[in-house]
Copies of this chain bind each other. A is one copy, B any other.
Amino acid sequence: MTQPDASKVDLFASTAVSQWKINLDRLNKMFDAFGDEELQQEIAPGKNRIFYLLGHLTAVHDRMLPLLRLGMRLHVELDQDFLTNPDRAAPDRISAGALRQAWTVVNDTLTRAIEALPAEAWLERHDAVSAEDFEKEPLRNRLSVLLSRTAHVQFHTGQIRLVVKKS
């Protein structure tokens, strides 16, 4: 390979960002294929509803905005029902339509900020590690958050896939 190092850093970042988008697109297609009532299905008997996972993923991605130091949260109000509490702890307080809207806005905002981040900035610390600790543990960087959240998308995609009708 004859690329200069700066271009190599760009390629590393582009590959990671591309995987984020590919995995998110795949999950989005699955959510879109469910009608609002179908979101009420459980992924397996007695397990989380798809509706809960949609809210859970929205809250987790919303938290990525400050965690990656890319901006303020947009939907703090989702945390109690979709992060703190398990599914069905209380009657749903948000409609399927409003939840889908939050999911779309959070991901669009987040992904735009992710795409705009300069390649080298992925190696800077994420917000949950102090500058002192980061000196000793340089892998606790923004990139590690992006990769682990990409994997988190797939964790739940694998579950939702269990209730997708094969065509």
Residues of A within 8 A of B (CB): 1, 3-6, 8-9, 11-16, 18-19, 22-23, 43-45, 47, 120, 122-124, 138-139, 141, 143-144, 147-148, 150-159, 161-162
- B12 engages A123 (CB within 8 Å): yes
A121 to chain B, nearest CB (A): 9
**Which residues of B are found within 8 Å of A155, using beta-carbon distances?**
154-155, 157-158, 161
Jot down 15 A-B pairs with beta carbons below 8 A, ordered by A: A1-B123, A4-B5, A5-B6, A5-B8, A12-B123, A12-B143, A44-B45, A44-B162, A147-B147, A147-B150, A151-B151, A151-B154, A155-B157, A155-B158, A159-B159
A151-B151, A162-B44 given as contacts; is B9 within 8 A of A12 (CB)?
yes
Query: Which residues in B have their C-beta under 8 angstroms from that of A156?
Result: 158
Closest B residue, CB atoms, query A151: B154
What is the CA–CA distance of A158 and B47 in the complex, to the nearest angstrom? 12
Contact (Cβ within 8 A) A11 B139 = yes
Q: Which residues of B contact A151 (CB under 8 A)?
A: 19, 23, 150-151, 153-154
Instruction: List B contacts of A3 (CB < 8 A).
Output: 123
- Residues on B with C-beta less than 8 A from A9 are 5, 8-9, 12
The reply to whether A162 and B23 contact each other, CB–CB distance below 8 Å, is: no
Contact of A8 among B4, B45, B123, B161 (CB under 8 A): B123
Contact A122 B154 (CB under 8 A): no
Bound: A138/B1 CA distance, A? 11
